[in-house]
Every structure is written in C-alpha cells, then in structure tokens.
C-alpha cells in the first residue's frame, strides 16, 4: 500500500516524521509531495497512491482519475469542501476528515487577530479591549467551542447560534457557558463581534449578507477564520462604507483583498496566507490522526470519520 502525503502548504517536519513512522511501522510505503506549486506535479505523484493525506489541496475528478488505485483520502483538518465527494463516491473512494485536531490552533488565531486589530496593529494609538464585549459564534463546532472557552477567560459574553443545533442542544453544552440564540438574526443583533465557524456548504455559501450585517452595532467586528465564500464581499464593503467603525478580520484573503485594503486600511486585516491551522501542535495532531485513520481503514475497514456517501 502506498500512502502519499500531498500538501501544497507543508506540515511541520516533526509532524511529517511522525506520520512516516506510523505509516511505515504498519507496513505501508510512505511518500510525500510537499510544497508543490504546480498541479501537474500532484497528478503525476498520485499515480500509484492507494491513500492520500491532504490539507486544502483540491482533490477533484481529474486527480481521482489519475490515481486508479486510490481507496481513501484523508483531509488532515476539518473542512472538506476541497474534495469532490460525489466523484469519490462514484469511484468507491472513502473520504475522511480529522475533526477537532486543529481546532485550538484556529481558535487561538481568532484572538490573536482580534486583539491585533483592536490595538490598531500596536501602532501606539488608542485601542479597544475585548473584555465584557458580546461575542457571537455563528455555528458551534469544534473551533467555536475552543473560541468560547478562551472568550470566557477574557470575561466576554458568548452568544451562539447553530443552524444544526437547537437552543436546547446548545444549553446542554453547559461547560462552554454560551447564551443559546435561536436565529442568525438574533445573533448578529446581539453581538459586538461575530465569529464565523460554519463549513462551506451550498446552504452556507454567501450566508453573511447585507441584511445580517446591518443588524450589528455600527462599530461591529466580523471575524472569519472559516471560508471566504461564506461572506458576500460586496455587501460587506457596502456595510464598511456606511459604517466608519465597522471592522473585518479574516484568515482567508477575500477575492477583493486589494479593494478592502485600499478602502479600509485601518479597519481591515487579512493574514497573507491562511494560518489558522499552521502550528506544529495542530500539524502533529491532524497529521497523526490522518495517518492512524488510514492504518485503521486498511487494517480494520474503519470508516468512522467518513464524510462521503458509500456507492
Ligand atoms: C480546516 O478546514 O481544517 C482549516 O481551514 C485548515 O486548513 P489548512 O489545513 O489548509 O490550513
């Protein structure tokens, strides 16, 4: 069995070393294609792969067709919008993710970016504190839970709305101490800072629009550590034009990055490259989870973290 680690954004070398060791001690071959710049390199590298470990790398029909022996793809991370699930199902390929493994890393970045912008990039001018502000979590998965936990340390009030959980479900997650809300409107209306934590699905694409954003306070802050496609960029630009104190903080550079930068140089911040999961800790957690899921898949047929339908 050949396991290929194919990541255009490489893992920490410690993570790669530990993954290699785990795969090889299970008796499989480990190969890597890291830091590739050209998709044709990926198409060549997958040729003999039976298993793939990836990050945000696009795994579509073309890649699957180039890998006739492919049986399993593990997205070392949470979001799998980069994998064509239907194409995988058609070819009897199992697709899995590693939920929760990089959640704390993303959550810490949320606060890093938030404080950085509230303190005006540490330029010495008068900034704002986050303590006692109302933080709204849009969705309540693994990252949102970590954000809620950290927010309590800052004495923030944490509101949460989930499109898939009821307020009663949220109430049962008592350890996170969130105030459960029953609609996204209520969330935006009652939060000074809204942090997005939903996956990119057809139902969530473009879900943050003008109507929702206009419910926030005039000096509201929107944080996006999830996916750029969740936000209607032109609506956000309109809100920021209308509200001279509104801020946008993102770990996923928007399509209209240059425009945001030119129009709102002090109220807009984007990381130059998505950095949420880019810590050695998260790399080790997600990488080893991916490696062990592949071993369990081949050895025991374990498909516990499968995200696509079976054919
Ligand atoms: C995820 O979905 O797990 C995060 O967005 C991290 O993505 P990355 O592995 O491409 O950094």
Domain spanning 2-101+278-300: which CATH class is it, in words? alpha beta
**CATH architecture assignment, domain 103-270:** 3-Layer(aba) Sandwich (3.40)
Burial bucket for residue 295 (CB in 10 Å: 0-12, 13-18, 19+): buried
Ligand 1 site residues, Cβ closer than 6 angstroms: 9, 55-56, 77-79, 102, 274, 276-278
**pLDDT tens-digit profile of 54-93?**
999 999 999 999 999 999 999 999 999 999 999 999 999 9
What pLDDT does residue 22 have?
Answer: 98
pTM over 0.85: yes
Closest Cα to residue 262, out of 105, 74, 254? 254
- Fold match between 2-101+278-300 and 103-270? yes
Q: Is 175 left (phi over 0), alpha (psi -120 to 50) or beta?
A: alpha
Compute the half-sphere exposure of residue 92: CA atoms within 13 Å on the CB side of its CA.
Answer: 3
Q: Are 35 and 8 in contact (CB under 8 A)?
A: yes
Residues of the chain with pLDDT below 70 are: none
d(CA 70, CA 293): 15
What pLDDT does residue 212 have?
Answer: 98
Q: What angle do CA 200, 275, 247 make, to 5 degrees?
A: 75
Q: Are 103 and 146 in contact (CB under 8 A)?
A: yes
Q: Are 74 and 293 in contact (CB under 8 A)?
A: yes
The domain locations on the chain are 2-101+278-300, 103-270
Rounded to the nearest whole angstrom, what is the distance from the C-alpha of residue 136 to the centroid of ligand 1? Answer: 22
Nearest-CA residue for atom 11 of ligand 1:
277
Rounded to the nearest whole angstrom, what is the distance from the C-alpha of residue 21 to the centroid of ligand 1? Answer: 23
* Per-residue DSSP letter, 231: B
């Amino acid at each position: 069995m050949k396991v290929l680690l194919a990541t255009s954004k490489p893992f920490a070398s410690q993570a790669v070393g530990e993954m290699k060791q785990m795969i090889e001690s299970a008796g499989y071959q480990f190969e890597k294609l890291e830091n590739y710049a050209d998709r044709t390199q990926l198409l060549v590298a997958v040729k003999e792969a039976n298993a793939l470990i990836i990050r945000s790398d696009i795994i579509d029909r073309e890649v699957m067709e180039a890998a006739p022996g492919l049986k399993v793809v593990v997205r070392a991370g949470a979001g799998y919008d980069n994998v064509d699930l239907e194409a995988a199902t058609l070819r009897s390929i199992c697709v899995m993710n590693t939920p929760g493994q990089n959640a704390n890393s993303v959550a810490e970045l949320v606060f890093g970016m938030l404080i950085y912008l509230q303190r005006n990039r540490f330029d010495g001018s008068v900034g704002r504190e986050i303590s006692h502000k109302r933080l709204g979590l849009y969705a309540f998965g693994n990252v949102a839970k970590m954000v809620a936990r950290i927010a309590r340390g800052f004495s923030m009030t944490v509101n949460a709305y989930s499109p898939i959980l009821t307020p009663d479900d949220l109430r049962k997650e008592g350890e996170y101490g969130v105030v459960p809300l029953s609609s996204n409107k209520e969330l935006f209306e009652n939060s000074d800072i809204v942090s997005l934590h939903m996956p990119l699905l057809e139902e969530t694409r473009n879900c943050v629009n003008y109507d929702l954003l206009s419910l926030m306070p005039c000096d509201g802050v929107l944080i996006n550590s999830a996916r750029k496609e969740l936000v209607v960029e032109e609506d956000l630009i309109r809100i920021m034009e209308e509200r001279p104190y509104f801020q946008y903080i993102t770990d996923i550079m928007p399509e209209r990055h240059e425009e945001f930068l030119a129009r709102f140089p002090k109220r807009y911040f984007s990381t130059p490259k998505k950095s949420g999961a880019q810590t050695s800790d998260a790399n080790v957690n997600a990488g080893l989870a991916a490696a062990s899921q592949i071993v369990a898949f081949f050895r025991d047929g374990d498909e516990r973290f499968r995200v696509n339908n079976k054919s």
